[in-house]
Amino acid sequence: MQNRFVKNLALLLFLNLLIKPFWILGVDRAVANMVGDTMYGFYFSLFNFSSLFYILLDLGITNFNNRNIAQNNQLLNKHLAGISALKILLAFAYGLLIFLIGYLIGYDGTQLKLLAWVGLNQVLLSFVLYLRSNISGLLLFKTDSLLSVFDRLLMIVICSFLLWSGLFAGQFKIEWYVYAQTAAYAVTVLLAAIIVLRYSGKIKLSFNLPFSLMILKKSIPYALLVLLMSFYNRLEPVLLERLLDGIEGKMQTGIYSRAFRLLDAGNNISLLFSVLLLPMFATLIKKKESVFSLVKLSFSIIISMSGIAAILSFFYSEEIMQLLYGRQIGETAAEFQWRITQSARVFQLLMGSFVAVSITYIFGTLLTANGNLKLLNIVAASGVLVNVSINMILIPQWQAYGAAWASLSVQAFTAVLQLILAVKIFKLNFGNGFWLRLCTFFVLAIGAGYLSDHLPFHWMIDLILVAAFCVSVAFLSGLLQLKALYTLLIPAKNKNYQHLKDK
């Protein structure tokens, strides 16, 4: 199982590092720069508002289905027909809800019009993820890996034409960005449906009330978990736009979105771990086999990766912001420097959140696979209370910077709780040596980042040198072991790992 995890993680990382960084740091960033902070903040607030209620489109069905199909492949045909019909009804309910709440909280006609398209994109995305959960549940990880980047690839093609073909110079509208997403998601849904139907056979959509109620009853704990996590992961931009007045609210949301864009890029990579690990953990747990080796391996990789990213982001925040976001038309040097400084401060804190979020993708996924939904929901509910409380206090005073502190606080809080629960439930014993190696890695990596300020080179060279040093420390300290990774990739050369190979 570890062998399959490492090989498919390598494929997923390769594809996502090839496509998604260009989407987030190339296309998405270019759109933000072209339309400006106010208009992008306008879109970003609506997007996060629609995300808060995304769970109504899913109600935990995707996570439940992934785990269920991984353990019971023979149910694919039956569940596909019934769940697809149920999700269509949920899509109509979702549309009505976001329009009603949007109207009640004061969205005007322009906002409601764009919200309709953003909501449609959420519907299409929910179908993409549901169909992919069947593919992943069948352990068709290579196919799932390709689908995980297909929608972004289509968006890159469409948006690149609109941005850089020269036919629409200076005319780009934020609405075009949303329409491009709609087209890409629609094509991806069609492709994913064709793939799933190859394995399920023909299905006949029919709404079966007893079946739907049975699925919802089993999925509700997952739904509540996703809802609560959506609130403490996506609430900051909405609160910034609502708590701060007019243009200032949209401007601060835009500043927050600039820093959040890089956190989102990192989260897309860390999310790949949970996509692979959920069906693997579920399979091991059903077979009553130990999950410790897989947990330790995935935790070691993700804490090293996220830790290095956070440290580099902390010491080079202003340089990175200046590189990504140049001066806008009509912006003075003082205004530009103020905007970069504000974004850099937010960026430092949000990349600290990245480490915490990455940890939850390991231990939260393990607890989900084990069915510990009640405990996870208690943790998530606590996270919402912490998040809302801190945001209400800090946003009026510190604006986007206060929202970033709220994000860091809640992510660290929930990550620690999930780690403690996983250790107790599964009796995981990493050993003092592991924690000593982890501490050594962070101390040396932070020290390298601090000392790099005194190097006489260009900041990009300094950053590359620090990154190389941190990776070396991860291996030299024993946090990552090259021999173990090599053995997992080529297990036939070590008999001790033969029992871990997939049959």
Q: List, for residues 146-196, the tens digit of each pLDDT value.
A: 888 888 889 999 988 888 877 766 678 889 999 999 999 999 999 998 988
Q: What integer is the mean pLDDT of 267-282?
A: 78
- Whether 255 and 270 share a structural domain: yes
How many Cα atoms within 13 Å fall on the side-chain side of residue 236? Answer: 31
Q: Are residues 140 and 284 in the same domain?
A: yes
- At residue 500, the pLDDT reads 34
| Per-residue pLDDT, 65 | 73
| Residue carrying the six token digits 């771990």 | 273
* Residue percentage of the chain with pLDDT more than 70: 89
So what's the pLDDT on residue 12? 64
Q: Residue-wise over 329-362: b if at least 16 C-beta within 10 A, else e?
A: eeeeeeeeeebbebbbbbbbbbbbbbbbbbbbbb
Q: In this predicted model, which residue has the larger pLDDT, 8 or 334?
A: 334
**1 vs 301, more confident:** 301
366 in the same domain as 458? no
235 shares a domain with 133: yes
Distances (CA, A) of 16 to 1, 151, 152, 191: 22, 12, 10, 19
Q: State the helix-helix crossing angle for 209-243 and 246-286, rounded to 10 degrees.
A: 140
Q: pLDDT grade, residue 6 (50/70/90)?
A: low
Q: Please write the tens of the pLDDT for every residue from 383-440.
A: 989 998 999 999 998 999 999 999 999 999 999 999 999 999 999 999 899 999 999 9
Q: Are residues 394 and 503 in the same domain?
A: no
End-to-end CA, the chain: 9
Pick the closest to residue 76 from 15, 9, 131 (CA basis): 131
Q: CA separation (Å) from 325 to 161, 247, 267, 319, 377? A: 21, 20, 21, 10, 38
Cβ neighbour number for residue 92 with a 10 Å cutoff: 10
Minimal CA–CA distance to 14: which of 277, 305, 269?
269
**Of 389, 367, 391, 393, whose CA–CA distance to 379 is shortest?**
367
pLDDT of 503 above 50: no
Last-in-domain residue among 429, 454, 476: 429
- pLDDT, residue 255, reads 85
Radius of gyration over every alpha carbon of the chain, rounded to an integer in angstroms: 23
Assess whether 217 and 172 both reside in one domain. Answer: yes
Predicted local confidence at residue 347, as pLDDT: 93
User: In this structure, are 285 and 416 located in the same domain?
Assistant: yes
Q: Are 396 and 350 in contact (CB under 8 A)?
A: no
Q: Which of 387, 385, 379 is nearest to 417 (CA)?
A: 379
User: Of 295, 301, 296, nearest to 474 (Cα)?
Assistant: 301
Average pLDDT of 444-454?
A: 90
pLDDT over 50 at 278, yes or no: yes
Give 294-337 pLDDT, tens digit per residue. 898 889 989 999 999 999 999 999 999 988 887 776 778 888 88
Long-range contacts of residues 139-145, Cβ cutoff 8 Å, at least 24 apart = 139/4, 139/70, 139/279, 141/4, 141/8, 141/11, 141/12, 141/276, 142/8, 142/11, 143/195, 144/275, 145/8, 145/11, 145/12, 145/15
Residue 495 confidence (pLDDT) above 50: no
Per-residue pLDDT averaged across 92-119, rounded? 90
Q: Report, in this order, helix, strand and coil percent for the chain, each rounded to 5.
A: 85, 0, 15
Q: Is 148 helix (H, G, I), strand (E, B) or coil?
A: helix
**Mean predicted confidence (pLDDT) in 66-75:** 69
Per-residue pLDDT at 489 exceeds 80: no
Q: For 203-231, what is the mean pLDDT? A: 74
Residues 237 and 269 in one domain: yes
**394, 409, 429 — which closes off a domain?**
429
**Distance separating alpha carbons of residues 481 and 367, to the nearest angstrom:** 26
pLDDT of 225 > 50? The answer is yes
Interatomic CA distance for residues 425 and 428, integer angstroms? 8
Residue 235 corresponds to which tokens in the numbers above?
Answer: 């609430």
Same domain, 370 and 462: no
Query: Packing angle between helix 2-21 and helix 246-286, nearest 10 degrees?
Result: 160
C-alpha distances in angstroms, 54 versus 97, 123, 237, 318, 444?
Answer: 10, 8, 16, 34, 41
Indicate the residue among 396, 429, 462 that finishes a domain: 429
pLDDT, greater one: 200 or 178: 178
Tell me the residue range of the domain where 272 lies: 2-429
Q: Virtual CA dihedral for 123, 115, 377, 208, nearest 10 degrees?
A: -30
- Please give the tally of structural domains in the chain: 2
Tokens of 317: 């925040």
Structure tokens at 67: 């785990």
Q: Is the pLDDT of residue 35 over 50?
A: yes
Between residues 26 and 296, which one has the greater pLDDT? 296
Average pLDDT, the chain: 83
pTM: 0.70
State the chain's maximal CA–CA distance in angstroms. 70
* 462-485 average pLDDT score: 85
Query: 113 with 181, same domain?
Result: yes
Query: Residues of the chain with pLDDT > 90: what percent?
Result: 32
pLDDT greater than 90 at residue 477: no
Q: Are residues 414 and 463 in the same domain?
A: no
**Looking at residue 244, what DSSP letter applies?**
S
Question: Given this model, what pLDDT does residue 11 score?
Answer: 66
Say yes or no to pLDDT of 445 above 50: yes
Indicate if the pLDDT at residue 236 is higher than 60.
Answer: yes
| Residue 493, pLDDT score | 40
**Residue 238 and residue 165 share a domain:** yes
Nearest to 302 by CA among 355, 229, 350: 355
Q: What is the pLDDT of residue 5?
A: 56
Distance separating alpha carbons of residues 41 and 192, to the nearest angstrom = 32
* Token pair belonging to 498: 């033969």
The band of 486, judged by pLDDT with boundaries at 50, 70 and 90, is: low
Assess whether pLDDT exceeds 80 at residue 462: yes
| Buried-state track 217-228, b at ≥16 Cβ within 10 A, e below 16 | eebebbbbbbbb
